[in-house]
Structures are given as structure tokens and as C-alpha cells.
A and B are shown apart, each in its own frame.
Chain A
């Protein structure tokens, strides 16, 4: 017992002050990508061929916005930024990535449309108490590990009234990881049906958003929204726990910075 108390004193208080303080992420952290169309002038397509998941597309556009990056496919590997001779693509240290709609993940500039909060009735129900059931449907365990990390003393998900529960019947929604393998399709559908109405679905990680690195495989279905309607998309491979937390709090309308578009 004395050892526990000694250790407790040494460990101190470890819970982060998020979201009251802006998180300090290291210099090399690859967060929200930002595109500068003006710099993309040389007309090369090096970034397109550097991307492992075809997240980048280039199309002629009268307004000059020709380059698009799909954060739903992006693995945040940074290969495109490395390949660009003009510095038109950079990965910022901004951890905020989550969006309500799949198309909001398509970015063409330094701006991104972040997730908006649930409608009032849903927010009244879930705003201060949200129970989630996690379903891994082909996830490699990295996204799962980051969801688990949310429960540790640093991120301490419980302080926001959000909790992972064991049964879908006790849950207000599902958190889905993985590209949804053929073999998990039925189990995922059953879990979804078992969640009482009204319910929400949150897709976490590149695989659950688009199939990620496995998008070319015939053994998977290309992400969660092929099977169930998704209310919140959280990009990353895997997303940083703060990216997930930011998305959850945004959905519940509990973040101070209410702006939906950030520069």
C-alpha cells in the first residue's frame, strides 16, 4: 500500500488541459494538410504519383484550384509534400481534421470545413453523456490503440462524459475502424441494428473512411459508409488521440472555438 501511495505522489497529475490549452505537437507531426494552388504552377504531377492511396487529384478548373487532397484517403505519410518541387503542399501541426460529410474532407486550400455539432435534439440527448461501442472491422490495431489511449489518464475521455461500453444495446453509437472486411460486414450490420435509435456512427482512420492502404483489395468494402450512414469522419493513419477527441467534442458542440472553417 505504501508503495502505491509513494508512486501516486511521484506520478503527479498527468491529465492534459485539452481543450483549454492548445496542444503542443512536435515539429515533425503531420496534421492537417494545406494546399497552396498559387505555388502549384509548374504543372507537374509528382505528388499524384507519390501518393500511395491516390488521395491527390488534379483537374483543370477555371478558378485555378486544380489540386485536391482527399483527407479520407490520406495516410499522412508526407510523400506528396516531399515530392513537390514548389512547396505547394505542406502538413501543418494542426490536429483538427474531423468532418461531418465525406466531401468535406476534400481540401483545395489552407481551409477545411470542420465538423459541426449535432442537431439540438441529439445534442440534448448525447451532449453530456455519450456511450459508444467500438467495432473493429479490419483495423490493423493502430486506430484501436489510439481509441484505447483516449481512456488513459492523459486524455481521460471520461471527464467529457464519453465512454466506451461493452454492448451495442448500451450504446448511443458506433465507432468503426478498418476498411470493413467482407467477413465483418454481417457482424457490423448486426451491431448497428442493435444500437437503439437515435444513434450516431463515427468512422475513424483512413481505412474506415475509404479503405485506406487496402482500397485496392477485393476482400474489403471500402470503408464504413458502404454499410452504415456515418455522422463523423476522423481522418488519419491512425488519427492522433487529440484528433479523435477534437472530432467527438465538435460533434457534441462542446468546443469553445465554434468556427467551422479554419485557416
Chain B
């Protein structure tokens, strides 16, 4: 029997009957996953299948990025099992999460620590011993206006040997709130991670729409795509400004910072909120873009494109900037694949993962945004990806705004169909935002899982600073700019 037949197939934004997901003994579950990974698939999710009490079933979602397919399988109920992490490093945080949420023990997991639910200060940290080795502890409160998290460095002089990142301070119980059937859940989804309100909000809408068997109009899908790309622009350009600031290149920091505001203001023009909160609606969108606003937006975008090019050329044309960014915070292509990185971080390390290209949904099924890939895996690559992607998004926005389809803003909501599971992927500006929703026999929402791209990528921050100087840490961290709240939920 081929391994593919032991998986259920689904595409992004679709739902399937939960009974169609094959349930196999844990040994087969493990072996099948490993086989699929060796044939180029990627671990999109490894979670508890609904119940958070042991014994429970595990559920995996594997992504075939080349074919645009998602493969699901489930294990029989287990209380413990041989951990996947030693064979599959990208499972490391998923298995810690399973252990924390249910008590199911992934035996042989190399570093079975709490993820977010236990107070982080009770965690144990790896400690390096030796002459002249010293420890630097930073956080939870950091020096800037930034979310809390704890960073523990093992250093030899200025050189970082090891960094361990312990999060959980931001744990607000967002996922638990989403698990309860609640028609206000969209306002929670929009606040999972405030800079990705559209990405998480859309992923949430799409997950529920799939469970209800409804699909928004092309009009609403176009509007959603416009907001998503505007959100990407605001964040990418803001990050370029923050990177400029971290290396002390203040003109670029000021100009990028100002330019970022143009996109937040564009979001406000359309939705009334600088982060697009309140724009999405289950079944569509709450706001249209009337013709006059459209021409105003196109004008803003054209001006922004000119400014972006000018500031970008100034920034990347400076040899001292390039020498500061190049070969700092390296993530090799192998580490990228091993850790299962997603989004900007993956594309900067030679992996052209992009949900908009690999698992297109909504308008992206009809309008293609060329994916940008670089191979050097350093801060330079992560900055350059943002610059290039911003230009692609600007072109996309101008084209879509120019030919916005006619149609209704929303379609009527349906009833949640019984015993189904939906997988919803959206390429947020950081990377793949994944929401998984379960319904029960009564047609009620019975489970909900959120995976922010940061969940896949935090380990990369720790790896990227190894053997570097501790003074490079802020720059490396900024080049990823991961979400604490998105991780802690």
C-alpha cells in the first residue's frame, strides 16, 4: 500500500468529514509521517485531535507545497509514544505543546519544556559549564516598546554559544476562547497578533466558512486580498525601518518609518482602523472600496512605490549597510528545512514557500504574486526579501484596485456542518498562518487550533545568533520580527 493512501487529502480552505481521516496505530502514524517528510512534504501541524485529555489521538497535517495538497492522518488514542523530534526536528515545539496541553509524553523528546501555559520562570534552562562561560538573562520586559519574552544566553566573552528562548508571558487564552462556540470570535482572532489582524482574521473566517460550506464572492475575496497585501506592506516596510534603526542608519529608519504610516493610513481609509480590525466579516467583508476611494488609494500606492524605490536604493546602496547585514544571523538551507521554517525566513534561506503560490485561496487562485527567494539566509536576505516583496505587493494592489470585480460584499452565513474538520492557510506577512477548526455531531464548533508562523520560526532566532556576537542579537531578532502573542496565544 502506498503511504499516500493512508492519508486523507484536502486543499487549503476546504473541510472534510472527520471520519475520512485514517486512524492508524501510533507506530504507523509515526512511520507514515516520516516517509512523507522524506519525500519532500512539510509538517504543517502536529496537534491533538480535539480532546485535551490523555489518552488522546494525535493529528498531523502535512503539506505538499509543490502540488498544493494537504495530507491528514490520525493516530489511535495514546498516553505516550516515541517522540518524532529526534527524527523530525520540525516537530519539536508541536510535541512540547501536546505534552503541555494533554500530558501525553513524547518519549525521548530532547528538551521537553513548557511552551506557554506554565509560568515561564519555573522553566529549566540549558546551562553551559566551563571557564569564562557566563550567562546573560534578558526579559521578560525588554528595553524597547516590545512584547515580553525571556532570552537566556550562554556566552564566552562576547560570543554567543547558545541562546534559549522561553516564551509564555503573553498567554491570554486566545485559543481556548476560540474553542468555545462564540459569534464574537472574529474580534479575538483579529487580536491573536495585532500586526497580522487581517491574516489571522481571514484564516479564521476561511476556517469557519469551510465548516459551513460557504464561499465569499470574488468581490469580497478581492477586498480581503487588498487588505492582506496592505498589511504586508505596512509590516515589511516597518521592519526595514526597524532594521535601519538597529544598525544606526537613521535617515532610512525615519523614511521607512514614515512610509509605513502611509499603509496603515490606507487600511484606516478603507476599514476605519489602522490595522484593518473590523474589516472582515464571516462570509465576506464589511467595507467596499468605492471608485473615488479607489483612485485615492491608487494615487497613494504610486507615490509610495516611488518613495520605496528611492529609500530602498539609498539603504541597500550603502556599502556600510550591506557589510553590516551580510553574513549576520545565518540560517543555512539545511537548518531551514530541518526546522520547517516558513515565510520570509524560509524564502531568505532558499526555500520558496509561500501559501499564496503553493496553496492559493481566494483571489490568489486567479492572480499570481511572484514569489521572491534568496539563498544567503542572513539578515541581508531577510531585509532584501521584504524590499522585493513590497514591490510585488504594490504592483498587485494597483492591478487589483484597477479592476475590482462587482458583486456582493457578503454571502449569507450557513450552519456549521456536522463532524467536519477544516484547514485554513493564509500567507501573512511573516509567513504561514494556519487555523484548524473541528465541528461535532451537533453541528457546533468543538475544537480550534491556531498556528502562527512564529511558532515554526522562533527556534531559528536562537540558531541564527550562535557563534555571533551578543551585540548582533537585536539585529538578528529584528530581521525575523516574530510574534510573542501569536506564539503564546
Contact = CB atoms under 8 A, between A and B. Distances in A.
A30 B261 contact: no
Contacts of B260: 152
Contacts of A164: 144-145
Given A136-B147, A140-B193, A11 B258 contact: yes
A214 B314 contact: no
A53 B170 contact: no
Contacts of B169: 137-138, 181, 183-184, 187
Contacts of B265: 26
Given A28-B287, A29-B268, A144 B146 contact: yes
B258 A153 contact: yes
Given A28-B271, A140-B193, 5 more contacts: A11-B258, A139-B170, A149-B264, A167-B143, A178-B170
B314 A7 contact: yes
B134 interface: no
Given A8-B251, A181-B171, A214-B188, A141 B195 contact: yes
B191 A30 contact: no
Contacts of A146: 274
22 contacts: A3-B318, A26-B269, A28-B268, A136-B146, A138-B171, A138-B485, A140-B191, A141-B485, A145-B275, A152-B257, A153-B254, A181-B169, A181-B172, A184-B170, A186-B121, A191-B141, A212-B191, A214-B191, A217-B173, A217-B177, A219-B171, A238-B194
- Which has the most chain B C-beta neighbours within 10 Å: A30, A220, A237? A237
A135 interface: yes
A139 to B, nearest CB: 7
A33 interface: no
- Which has the most chain A C-beta neighbours within 10 Å: B141, B176, B195? B141
A218 interface: yes
Interface residues of B, number: 63
Contact of A30 (B171, B251, B275, B278): B278
A29 B277 CA distance: 11
B263 to A, nearest CB: 12
A179 B255 CA distance: 33
Contacts of B275: 142, 145, 238
Contacts of B238: 145
A166 B177 contact: no
- Which has the most chain A C-beta neighbours within 10 Å: B119, B169, B318? B169
Contact of B168 (A6, A11, A76, A183): A183
Contacts of A181: 169-172, 488
Contact of A10 (B141, B172, B271, B310): B310
A179 B261 contact: no
Interface in B87-122: 119-121
B3 interface: no
A14 interface: yes
A140 B192 contact: yes
B184 interface: yes
Interface in A136-192: 136-149, 152-154, 164, 166-167, 178-179, 181-184, 186-187, 191
B145 A213 contact: no
A147 B317 CA distance: 30
B273 interface: yes
Contacts of A26: 265, 268-269, 272
Nearest to A152: B257
Contacts of B310: 6-7, 10
- Which has the most chain A C-beta neighbours within 10 Å: B172, B287, B307, B485? B172
A220 B172 contact: yes
B311 interface: yes
A144 B147 contact: yes
A152 B187 contact: no
B148 A137 contact: yes
- Which has the most chain A C-beta neighbours within 10 Å: B147, B257, B307? B147
A138 B193 contact: no
B271 A140 contact: no
A75 B173 CA distance: 18
B203 to A, nearest CB: 15
B171 A183 contact: yes
Interface in B174-208: 174, 176-177, 184, 186-188, 190-195, 197
Contacts of B270: 28
Contacts of B194: 139-145, 238
A96 interface: no
A117 interface: no
Contacts of B317: 3
